[in-house]
């Protein structure tokens, strides 16, 4: 019986839902696993069930799984406790491996984020004074939203927003077999995308967001549709790791729905420079990268962690 602890930090719980979506394979794995801590699904308190504890407690486990990035002092404290309590630590999901969408916050200062949240947002009802973090025991915001490995040693990374259940099951099975290494192939979404390529831009030559329907025949398969990037849509396939189709390298999920890749699986490899590589991909088919709509925000979509977000 392998003890497993799981935590979520700056995240949405999509990765935890992906764990449940393992389906039949999870049922087969459960007799070999004992989940001792998973706040999203199990009522397990940090300071005892009635708050009697004085220090944050996470049970000892062989495998620790953490989703989400780190943006405040509580996230950081929980992450360090997970690393201390678990023999093997898995970063689950692109927020944990690379910062993910929450790391877009790194384009702004904390003061700008608070000002928008408490005064400028159309959804803000009371435009009053910002709450005092110390008075209300609110965790302090860190200057940046970061990936897990910027703070602790991470043994296995499973990117995805959320990860395909097959990759999660594959990693757990590998661990049960005594293997402490598990890596997704270093292939891009373009490597497994079946769309047709003409190696040139569309006749209009205009880069655009997904605000209109691309050209395709709904009666024909995706393999008969022209590459969305060549059609001028901002597809991140050239710089995104393949994986959303599962371990069998099926058609990428977004592409199968006739929409561009959104960068869910993060950079193709850890040494990649996705911002530079994407500019090169655009230029290779004849587009002017300087004419990208929302250039900075789009390029930083999955690379705000690891300190690589810059003014581009």
- 118 pLDDT higher than 50: yes
Q: CA of 77: how far to CAs of 94, 141, 148, in Å? A: 20, 13, 12
Distance, in Å, from the CA atom of 73 to the CA atom of 140, rounded to the nearest integer, reads: 5
Average pLDDT, the chain: 89
Higher pLDDT, 101 or 242: 242
Q: What are phi and psi of 173, to 5 degrees?
A: -65, -40
What tokens does 233 get? 């849509």
Residue 308: the pLDDT is 55
Q: What is the mean pLDDT of residues 14-28?
A: 88
Distance, in Å, from the CA atom of 312 to the CA atom of 310, rounded to the nearest integer, reads: 6
Neighbours of 300 (CB within 10 A): 23
At 299, the pLDDT band (50, 70, 90 cuts) reads low
Residue 311: the pLDDT is 39
What tokens does 55 get? 């220090």
Q: What is the mean pLDDT of residues 201-209?
A: 88
196 - beta bridge partners? 226
- 160 pLDDT higher than 90: yes
Q: What is the largest CA-CA distance in the chain?
A: 68
SS3 state of residue 222: helix
Residue range(s) of every CATH 3.40.50.700 domain in the chain: 2-102+135-177
Apex CA 307: angle with CA 298 and CA 235, to 5°? 20
- 271 pLDDT higher than 50: yes
Would you list the DSSP string of 237-271?
Answer: GGGBBS-TTTTTTPPPHHHHTTS----TT-BSSTT
| Omega within 30 of 0 (cis) for the link into 162 | yes
At 301, the pLDDT band (50, 70, 90 cuts) reads low
- 26 pLDDT higher than 90: no
Cβ within 8 Å of residue 98, ≥6 positions away = 147, 159, 266, 267, 302, 303, 304, 305, 306
pLDDT tens digits along 222-265 = 999 999 999 999 999 999 999 999 998 889 999 999 999 989 99
What tokens does 92 get? 């689950």
Task: Tokens 């209109």: give the residue.
Answer: 212
Task: Tokens 């860190």: give the residue.
Answer: 142
At 126, the pLDDT band (50, 70, 90 cuts) reads confident
What tokens does 261 get? 């890749």
What tokens does 254 get? 């977004």
Among the residue ranges 14-18, 19-23, 47-51, the one predicted with the least confidence is 47-51
At 310, the pLDDT band (50, 70, 90 cuts) reads very low
- 180 pLDDT higher than 90: no
Instruction: Look up the pTM and report it.
Output: 0.90
SS3 state of residue 47: coil
Apex CA 185: angle with CA 183 and CA 188, to 5°? 135
- 212 pLDDT higher than 70: yes
Give the CATH architecture of domain 2-102+135-177. Answer: 3-Layer(aba) Sandwich (3.40)
Q: What is the mean pLDDT of residues 33-45?
A: 88
SS3 state of residue 240: strand
Q: CA of 29: how far to CAs of 1, 24, 123, 150, 175, in Å? A: 10, 9, 44, 31, 12
Distance, in Å, from the CA atom of 256 to the CA atom of 82, rounded to the nearest integer, reads: 37
């Amino acid at each position: 019986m392998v003890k497993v602890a799981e935590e979520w930090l700056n995240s949405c719980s999509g990765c935890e839902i992906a764990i449940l979506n393992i389906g039949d394979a999870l049922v087969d794995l459960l007799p070999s696993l004992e989940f001792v801590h998973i706040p999203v699904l199990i009522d397990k308190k940090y300071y005892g069930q009635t708050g009697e504890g004085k220090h944050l407690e996470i049970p000892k486990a062989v495998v620790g799984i953490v989703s989400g990035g780190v943006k405040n002092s509580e996230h950081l404290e929980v992450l360090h406790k997970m690393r201390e309590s678990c023999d093997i630590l898995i970063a689950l999901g692109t927020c944990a491996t690379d910062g993910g969408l929450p790391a877009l916050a790194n384009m702004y200062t904390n003061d700008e984020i608070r000002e928008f949240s408490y005064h400028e947002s159309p959804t803000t009802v009371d435009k009053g004074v910002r709450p005092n973090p110390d008075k209300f025991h609110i965790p302090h915001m860190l200057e940046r939203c970061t990936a897990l490995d910027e703070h602790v040693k991470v043994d296995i990374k499973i990117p995805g927003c959320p990860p395909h259940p097959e990759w999660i099951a594959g990693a757990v099975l590998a661990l049960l077999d005594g293997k402490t290494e598990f890596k997704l192939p270093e292939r891009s979404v373009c490597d497994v995308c079946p769309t047709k390529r003409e190696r040139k831009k569309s006749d209009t030559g205009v880069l655009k967001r997904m605000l209109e329907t691309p050209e395709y025949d709904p009666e024909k398969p995706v393999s008969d549709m022209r590459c969305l990037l060549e059609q001028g849509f901002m597809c991140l396939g050239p710089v995104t790791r393949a994986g959303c189709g599962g371990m069998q390298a099926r058609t990428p999920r977004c592409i199968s729905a006739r929409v561009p890749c959104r960068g869910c699986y993060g950079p193709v490899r850890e040494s990649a420079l996705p911002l530079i590589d994407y500019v090169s991909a655009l230029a290779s088919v004849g587009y002017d990268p300087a004419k990208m709509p929302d250039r900075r925000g789009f390029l930083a979509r999955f690379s705000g962690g690891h300190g690589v977000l810059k003014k581009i």
